[in-house]
Structure 1
Amino acid sequence: MFVGRHSELQKLNDLYNSDKFEFAVIYGRRRVGKTTLINEFIKDKNTIFFTGLETNSKENLENFSQSITRLQYGDNASPVFPSFQAAFDAVYELSKQNRVVLVVDEYPYLAESYRGISSLLQVQIDEKYKNSKLFLILCGSSMSFMENQVLGYKSPLYGRRTAQFKIQPFSFFETKEYYSGFTSYDLATIYGITGGIPQYLAQMSDKLTVEDNIKKNFLDASAYLFEEPSNLLKQEVREPAYYNAIIKAIATGSTKNSEIAAKVSLETSACTGYLKNLISLGIVKKETPITEDSARKTIYVIEDNMFRFWYRFIPNNVSLIQNGMADRTYKKIETQIPDFMGKVFEDICKQWLWRENASGNLPIEFVELGRWWGNDPIRRQEAEIDILAFEDKNSAIFGECKWTNEKVDTIVLDTLIERSHLFHYKNNYLYLFAKTGFTSGCVEKSKSMHNVTLVTFDEMANG
């Protein structure tokens, strides 16, 4: 069953229907569903589909040749072209008069085995393909390679693409398409522990409770997700032990480069390099307060919520899990899951605001949205604001998100009002987001203020 990616699929079909040369670049982290999207797109089209392998250029040329001749002659014929030049020429002959899609999946592997491939493709595009009916798709999981060596201005292919798609994990609202058997609250947790990654979502079942899904997929030593972070790092990096230690340090509260480096016994300069690689893999991201550009306040957070869940709860319980004690392990971590879900809920609230912003349902049309933290000069202490979105220097939205079973009281609203006064916007709009609702006092106060909006999770999930 194909789920989501409706916009991307429509855009690919629009490009296909142009009936002229098109060149799309599709990239994103592993397991995010790039190949699934491409397979859905090509299922009714004449396609040459080739996947680059971590091997030598000879074997990749043999496989590429078979992919081409399969379209020409069917499965029985398998001649090998003498060179990639000859193979690309054959693709041109096939696409001079007829619409043909050429997909090169895992393009970074092909480029590593034959370093001249991008230059060769550039010449083919400029001299032949641009006058053909070929739809060329290059796809890759190495985001740094795709951004620098395919899309970057130093790439031989720079300026040739006609479209690019950076495939992101599903949002909470896209994740809803996967399941019909979860309550909204359970679905939020499933979204949180999978990070919206399609491959991880596919491991979950709405025939099971959240508890049983966690036990089955994380707290079982034979489960796919029990080994997934380690396996993915081994596949992507040369020194997985350092990367493991860095991710665990971030997951357990170290957020500044100096703190992380000290925790894993690295020089800060070396730690910076590892962090940069984790960012390119979509596992970690840098954050600064939204109103500031200062690198001094930069922190590192785990962007992939599945990794955040795994590194928070699995490493310290490996012995229990390997000895089949899933029930005992779950009891250990169960009370900490609501705290883990706090950041997930913030993400969901931000997604909801972007959706409402696009629909024109907010009092302002903001252009940026993020978090803020900094000094409160009145209280002389550090302060945080979960959500700050602004349109210009005059108008802003301030938001606070609470994933608790208790109703949100006026003290939370009062704190948000106070913190909004740290800024000098003319028009402040306050949004409180709550898992379970608001006290009568909070509701009454919000009604009297006219610039406060109270939003429950149920309203977001089912509205």
Structure 2
Amino acid sequence: MARHPDLIVDRRQEIDRLHGLLATGRPHLVLMSGRRRVGKTYLLSRAWKEQPAFYFTASETTPEQNRQALLTAFAEWSGQPVRTEDYPTWRTVFRLLLDHDSPTPLVVTIDEFQYLGESASELDAIASELNAAWEMRRPERGIVFVLAGSAVRTLERLNDGGSPLYGRFSWQCRLRPFDYGYAGSLAGFDDVRDRAYAYGLFGGTPRYLAAIDPRRSIAENAIDLLLRPDGEVRELIRTALLQEQGLRDIPKYVAILRAIGRGRTELNEIAQDTGLTADNSLREKLQRLIALDYVATSRNLGARPKEAYRYRIADPAARFFYDSVAPLESVLATQDPGAVWRAHIAPNLDAYMGLVFEGMVRDGYYRLQSTRSLPLVKEWGRWEGRDRNREPLEIDIASVLMDGRVLTGAIKWNRTPIEVGVHTRHLAMIDRLAESGVSWAHEARKPTSPLLYVAAGGFTDRFRQAALATRDEVHLWTLDDLYSPMS
């Protein structure tokens, strides 16, 4: 499936919001941030077709060189002569942009805005210059002035209290990776299971997905792009942290991700695996990784306030790298990546997809909510632990609904229809939790509390009959259901 070079997958909400602001006929400041390779530049350089749009990307150089480069680019775009010596300050530069005489509403985008200043104080000073130019009285007209960048926290500070631009932004947007549905669309495979594998291996980052050749198999793409030492996507994932502005002690952050990838999900486990101390410094590093969308946290439904969080790698591409590729780096450096795939990765791929599939189901629930009139969720969750007899149990879906009911169920990445035993065991686990004093389990036992079972490969007739006879509301989904809005 060939991709059109100007194809924009998803981002409809962001485009509509930008166009809506421009249509008001008034000036608007917009702040857009997001990790590298998430698609900011692609979106902002293609969002406008019918009106003048000046786009400039700052470089990691001196403010003076960026000022000169911006003025040169504006002169080429506008066709008007611009002498750099006539615009010696950032305030005069911003006034030039804002006062540009165009017959239609104007769009100005400064991407990687953080590079205009070499320090936080210098960037604040430049923001103050923009604010001064913005506040000058001029005839009202439609202008959308976008500040964008990949230094997420630096950009977001521009709208914090005390910033010169605080309260000036009409819209602040954090661009995030695609969910499984849009990732599958960009990957380009026709088969929904291949789309799911593509998401599990390459995640939702547009740059990674764009490297996939849908004419080749998932295995061939993974071997060439993720396993080979010079694999394009492997190198992008491996160096991702190095690209994060202001992130120090990179080896420690990498060690944390490697530990989580090996299944160390609690603070003390991560500390032991990395050799770091389980103190505030480690917690701060984890919080930084969470803020950058590399790591996510979870706790059991109904957890007490002091109960420890579990950490997991948020993006499936990074999860696959640190779970399956990084531990085999020495092997992959000396031996055939195809043989490594067949011997070590392919046999475990479906087990790996189990956790990925849980995240897909959560996102799929929200995708399908309106079209299938699903009950609103107050808190999506799961439960993992032991009952009062110290017997382990795990419930894939344990979510409190807005109406007070509790939605529970199971998620299976299967190839053949699941048998009725999955249903009976699930009900038994709810009973065990209720008898162990877990408060939400009492509500979950009631006939009015719905069940949700998601099985990639479907259900047997006995399963369907037993489940539907158990509760007033039962949802049975396959992989096709999760992809149905995108099919």
TM over 0.5: same fold?
yes
Give per-residue Cα distances to partners, 1:45-102, cap 9 Å, x unaligned. Answer: 312222222222111111222233233326x866352110110121232169752211
- The structural deviation recorded for 1:293 is 6.0
- Distance, in Å, in 2 between the alignment partners of 1:285 and 1:178 is 24
**Counterpart of 2:476?**
454
Do structure 1's residue 404 and structure 2's residue 414 form an aligned pair? yes
- Per-residue CA shift, 1:226-257, capped at 9, x if unaligned? 22223211222332221111101001111111
- Mapped to 2, the partners of 1:243 and 1:263 lie a distance apart of 13
Selected match of 2:249 from 213, 235, 239: 239
Displacement, 1:194? 1.2
* In structure 2, distance between residues paired with 1:360 and 1:461: 13
Partner of 1:444, secondary structure, is helix
Give the counterpart of 1:306 among 288, 296, 317: 317
CA distance in 1, matches of 2:103, 2:188: 46
2:78 paired residue among 57, 72, 75: 72
Mapped partners of 1:404, 1:286: distance in 2: 26
Instruction: Give the stretch that moved more between structures: 430-439 or 391-400.
Output: 391-400
User: Larger deviation: 55-64 or 228-237?
Assistant: 228-237
How many Å separate the matches in 2 of 1:241 and 1:385?
35
Change (3 A) 1:123 1:287: farther
SS at match of 1:42: coil
8 A Cα contact 2:24 2:142, kept in partner: no
| Among candidates 54, 57, 64, match of residue 58 of structure 1 | 64
Is the contact between residue 186 and residue 206 of structure 2 (CA under 8 Å) also seen in structure 1? no
The alignment's TM-score, normalised by the length of structure 2, stands at 0.88
The letter of the residue matching 2:352 is F
Cα pair distance change 1:135/1:462, threshold 3 Å? closer
Specify the SS of the correspondent of 1:367: strand
> Structure 1 residues 447 and 273 mapped into 2: Cα distance closer, same or farther (>3 Å)?
closer
The reply on whether 1:197 has 2:205 as its aligned counterpart is yes
Q: Answer yes or no: is the 8 Å Cα contact 2:397–2:408 preserved in 1.
A: yes
Match of 1:19 among 25, 48, 56: 25
Task: Judge which range, 20-29 or 94-103, deviates more.
Answer: 94-103
Query: What is the deviation of 1:176?
Result: 3.5
| Distance in 1, Cα, partners of 2:111 & 2:137 | 22
Shift of 1:295: 4.3
The AA in structure 2 aligned to 1:336 is: N
Q: Offset at 1:217?
A: 0.4
1:266 aligns with 2:276: yes
Q: Residues of 1 paired with 2:35 and 2:162: CA distance?
A: 22
- Paired position in structure 1 for 2:349: 337
1:158 aligned residue: 166
Is 1:139 matched with 2:148? yes
State the 1:131 CA deviation. Answer: 4.3
- Residues 142, 281 of structure 1: 8 Å contact kept: no
Task: Indicate if the aligned counterparts of 2:397 and 2:410 stay in contact, CA closer than 8 A.
Answer: yes
Give the count of matched residue pairs.
Answer: 459
Residues in 2 aligned to 1:277 and 1:128: alpha-carbon distance in whole angstroms: 40
- C-alpha distance in 2, partners of 1:234/1:218? 18
| Deviation (angstroms), 1:360 | 5.0
> Which residue identity does 2:476 align to in structure 1?
L
Instruction: Tell me by how many angstroms 1:267 deviates.
Output: 1.5
* Alignment partner, residue 320 of structure 1: 331
Match of 1:278 among 285, 289, 305: 289
CA distance in 2, matches of 1:108, 1:282: 19
CA distance in 1, matches of 2:139, 2:227: 53
Which runs of 5 or more structure 1 residues have no equivalent in the other structure? Answer: none
* DSSP 3-state at the match of 1:297: coil
Would you say 1:120 and 2:129 are equivalent positions?
A: yes
Q: Give how far 1:186 is off.
A: 0.9
CA distance in 2, matches of 1:77, 1:95: 14
Matched residue, 2:437: none
Summarize the Cα distance change of 1:247–1:179 in structure 2 as closer, same or farther, 3 Å threshold. closer
Unmatched 5+ stretches in structure 2: 435-439
Q: Distance in 2 between matches of 1:289 and 1:97?
A: 57
Q: CA RMSD in A?
A: 2.3
Q: Is the 8 A contact 1:15 1:22 kept in 2?
A: yes
Normalised by the length of structure 1, the TM-score is: 0.92
Letter matched to residue 215 of structure 1: I
What's the offset of the Cα at 1:448?
1.7
C-alpha distance in structure 2 between counterparts of 1:164 and 1:439, whole Å: 48
Residue 221 (1) aligns with residue 229 (2): yes
Q: Is the 8 A contact 1:404 1:435 kept in 2?
A: yes
Instruction: Note closer, same or farther for the CA distance 1:358–1:141 as it changes in structure 2 (3 Å cut).
Output: farther
- Shift of residue 391 of structure 1? 2.5
Distance 2:101 2:380 in 1: 45
Cα distance in 2 for residues equivalent to 1:29 and 1:461: 26
How far apart are 1:180 and its partner, in Å? Answer: 4.8
CA deviation after TM superposition for structure 1 residue 365, in Å: 2.2
Seq. identity, %: 26
1:136 maps to a residue whose letter is F
